[in-house]
Amino acid sequence: MGYTIAEKIFNSHRIDNPTPTIHVLALDAVFCHEITTPIAINDLIAKGKDRVFDAKKIKAVIDHVTPAKDSKTAEQGKILREWARRHGIQDYFDIGRNGVCHALFPEKGFVRPGYTVIMGDSHTCTHGAFGAFAAGVGSTDLEVAILKGVCAFNSPRTMKINVTGDLPGGVYAKDVILSIIAKIGVNGATNMVIEFTGPVIAALSMESRMTLCNMAVEAGATSGICYPDRTTVDYLWEFIRGDYASPDEAVSDYAKWISDPDARYERVIDLDVSTFEPVVTFDYKPDHVKPVRLMEGTPIDQVYIGSCTNGRIEDLRIAAKVLKGKKISDRVRAIVSPATPKIYQMALDEGIIKIFMDAGFCVTNPTCGACLGMSNGVLAPGEVCASTTNRNFQGRMGAGGMVHLMSPATAAASAIAGAIANSELYRGRN
């Protein structure tokens, strides 16, 4: 019997098997941010264990509320900042050099095929787009990871989603993953790895693969994962070129992290995307999804484009294509947050920031603040946001607010219309 990609990674990193179904894995990277890590830091200090297993394998960023909005968030940043200095963590990114963690860390080349990656953040599954096993963990597991460089996981049961067909124009990775979540439900992949495969996935950019894997957790998955290929290598080449004579050599080597043909899966879903169309969530669960055409005209108060799901340059380019030469509706306010300083600079150089500003958008620094309802775009009770973020539970972006999840194209079109609307990029639009 062959192995899935997740099983291969587990086999190569396992250092202990306390039970047949529990695997203690050595970690290649431990990611940290200022919301969850200070809890672990303070507990380690209280236990007299203020140390790190390997400062080079720990990466830290202040990203969720930046700059600090109050004394509490300032204190959280201070704890992380002083800890990073105390332990010589060189890959620490403070305000001005920071970015949304799940965009910044891949951009820096910190994730490679076959890696094991953890963070005290549920959307760590984003990094599975590189052919890595990446998972969010709680504070206790994060403490152990910081101290010993290991983490325990259940055996990696895998759901394979084979994506085929021709993706229609104006339909994007965000529409695909929302449609998948609608199909399998918010608990459909609980305690499983979702393996995204097929010709449609192979044709996606790394940015789009990260969007898919980012929201695997919204279906209950421990991680999402894609096969490493030439697209992966091209994205990482500036970081790995010293390890390989050529990109082809890297592709050949990384092929060891592709599932075997006879691997065993918990479930296999074949998905033809040829008839897919732009979709949007309704109510307060990510599996409550409808085609945009059935939600057109739904009033909104705010539009938000950004986050670890859709704040990358690809996303900004798509939204700018919709917005160019147009103005947002007088009835809405619109916010865009490029996910990293590099993305912000690229958007400046390409004239994308000007398009957003000319349209009437407020442009903010890289931050997660609006997504989790802490800053830079919090909703008032009764307000509705058309958002490119990843969660829509009640109160996510502010107490009493409603969040409709959608692609950057749909969000941009909705900003212009002042209500949920399909973009002109969707070729199937009536």
pLDDT tens-digit series, residues 386-412: 999 999 999 999 999 999 999 999 999
- The two tokens of residue 181 are 């979540």
Q: Percentage of residues in the chain with pLDDT exceeding 90?
A: 98
427, pLDDT greater than 90: no
Q: For 182, what's the count of Cα atoms within 13 Å in the CB-facing half-sphere?
A: 18
* The CATH number fitting domain 5-271, selected from 3.30.160.100, 3.40.47.40, 3.30.499.10, 3.30.70.260: 3.30.499.10
Q: For 235, what's the count of Cα atoms within 13 Å in the CB-facing half-sphere?
A: 25
- The two tokens of residue 312 are 């990358």
pTM: 0.96
430, pLDDT greater than 90: no
pLDDT (0 to 100) of residue 1: 83
pLDDT, tens digit, 9 for 90 and up, residues 126-157: 999 999 999 999 999 999 999 999 999 999 99
CB neighbours (10 Å) of residue 349? 9
pLDDT (0 to 100) of residue 289: 97
Per-domain boundaries in the chain: 5-271, 282-417
34, pLDDT greater than 80: yes
- The two tokens of residue 264 are 């065993």
Q: Percentage of residues in the chain with pLDDT exceeding 70?
A: 99
Cβ-contact 293, 414 below 8 angstroms: no
Cβ-contact 364, 63 below 8 angstroms: no
Asked if the domains at 5-271 and 282-417 fall in one CATH topology, the answer is yes
pLDDT (0 to 100) of residue 215: 97
Question: For residues 218 and 123, what is the distance between their CA atoms, to the nearest angstrom?
Answer: 9
Cβ-contact 69, 375 below 8 angstroms: yes
Four-residue CA torsion sign, 117, 13, 141, 393: positive
Question: Radius of gyration of the chain from Cα atoms?
Answer: 21
pLDDT, tens digit, 9 for 90 and up, residues 277-296: 999 999 999 999 999 999 99
pLDDT, tens digit, 9 for 90 and up, residues 222-243: 999 999 999 999 999 999 999 9
Four-residue CA torsion sign, 375, 380, 381, 385: negative
DSSP 75-129: HHHHHHHHHHHHTT-SSEE-TTT---HHHHHHHTT---TT-EEEESSGGGGGGGG
Mean pLDDT of 193-209: 98
Mean pLDDT, the chain, rounded, equals 97
Question: For residues 166 and 179, what is the distance between their CA atoms, to the nearest angstrom?
Answer: 15
Which residues, other chains included, contact 350 with Cβ-Cβ below 8 Å and sequence gap of 6+? Answer: 317
Q: Which helix (H) or strand (E) is 253 found in, with range?
A: helix 247-254
Which residues, other chains included, contact 47 with Cβ-Cβ below 8 Å and sequence gap of 6+? Answer: none
- Identify residue 76 by its one-letter amino acid code: Q
**Check: CATH 3.30.499.10 for 282-417?**
yes
pLDDT, tens digit, 9 for 90 and up, residues 61-108: 999 999 999 999 999 999 999 999 999 999 999 999 999 999 999 999
Mean pLDDT of 12-40: 97
25, pLDDT greater than 80: yes
**pLDDT band per the 50, 70, 90 thresholds, residue 428:** low
